[in-house]
């Protein structure tokens, strides 16, 4: 092999390595908290802050959609939104799923038997899109006091979180405890449901720690 051919192959090898490093795709799937409701500055939405923390080797996309539920029979199922289609087509290497807050509304939680099957089918959709994807399930953040918009703390804490844990255990998926990350910090929730810029920072930090673990 002459020197010119060797150098050409070397350049191709490095280019391929650089492309792989830059191509770690992260999909942030969720409801209005992921989308950025409650955050004043768009650059402080949790997926944007996560992208800053992860650095240039990652491509982080925000697939949050306000009001959506994990429940396929909820009043606004995530899987019936274009956001879901876009997230699946992205075929991410890492998928962070943060749903469940809106499921605590009375009209949705009346159909709670469908929560675990809906979670499993959502995970399956991302696994089919990229069989090598690493998928994280997140516990919802706390709901402060009497809640808002029909969203209820007692349901999030005592019913939804245990169901997510059980499903994650069954699927052997890692869990990111966003409830613990923001628990005891009511000042971060101006409307008792949506974290502000500082709250989004704590979410980003918790997700970053899990992804880089």
Which tens digit of pLDDT belongs to each residue from 106-133? 999 999 999 999 999 999 999 999 999 9
Residue ranges of domains in the chain, CATH in brackets: 24-211 (3.40.50.1110)
Q: Tokens standing for 84?
A: 């879901």
Percent of the chain with pLDDT over 90: 89
Residue 196, SS3 per DSSP: coil
pLDDT of res. 22: 52
pTM given for the model: 0.89
Give the C-alpha separation, 77 to 31, whole Å. Answer: 10
Average pLDDT of the chain? 92
The two tokens of residue 185 are 């910090």
The order of strands in the sheet holding 175-177 is: 58-64, 24-30, 94-98, 134-139, 175-177
Residue 20 has pLDDT above 90, yes or no: no
**pLDDT tens column, 21-63:** 458 999 999 999 999 999 999 999 999 999 999 999 999 999 9
Lowest mean pLDDT among 14-18, 86-90, 99-103, 194-198: 14-18
Query: Exposed/middle/buried for 94, CB within 10 Å: 0-12, 13-18, 19+?
Result: buried
Burial of 61 (C-beta count, 10 Å sphere; 0-12/13-18/19+): middle
């Amino acid at each position: 092999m002459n020197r010119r051919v060797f150098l050409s192959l070397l350049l191709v090898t490095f280019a391929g390595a650089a492309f792989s490093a830059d191509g770690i795709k992260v999909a942030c799937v969720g409801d209005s908290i992921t989308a950025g409701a409650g955050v004043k500055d768009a650059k402080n939405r949790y997926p944007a802050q996560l992208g800053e923390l992860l650095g240039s080797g990652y491509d982080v996309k925000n697939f949050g959609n306000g009001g959506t539920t994990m429940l396929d029979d909820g009043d606004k199922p995530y899987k019936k939104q274009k956001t879901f289609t876009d997230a699946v087509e992205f075929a991410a290497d890492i998928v962070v799923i943060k749903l469940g807050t809106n499921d605590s509304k009375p009209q949705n939680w009346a159909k709670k038997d469908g929560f675990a099957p809906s979670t499993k089918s959502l995970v399956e959709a991302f696994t089919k899109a990229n069989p090598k994807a690493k998928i994280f399930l997140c516990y919802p953040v706390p709901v402060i006091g009497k809640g808002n918009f029909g969203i209820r703390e007692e349901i999030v804490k005592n019913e939804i979180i245990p169901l997510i844990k059980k499903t994650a255990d069954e699927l052997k998926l890692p869990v990111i405890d966003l409830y613990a990350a923001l628990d005891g910090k009511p000042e971060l929730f101006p409307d008792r449901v949506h974290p502000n810029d500082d709250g989004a920072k704590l979410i980003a930090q918790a997700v970053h720690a899990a992804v880089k673990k």
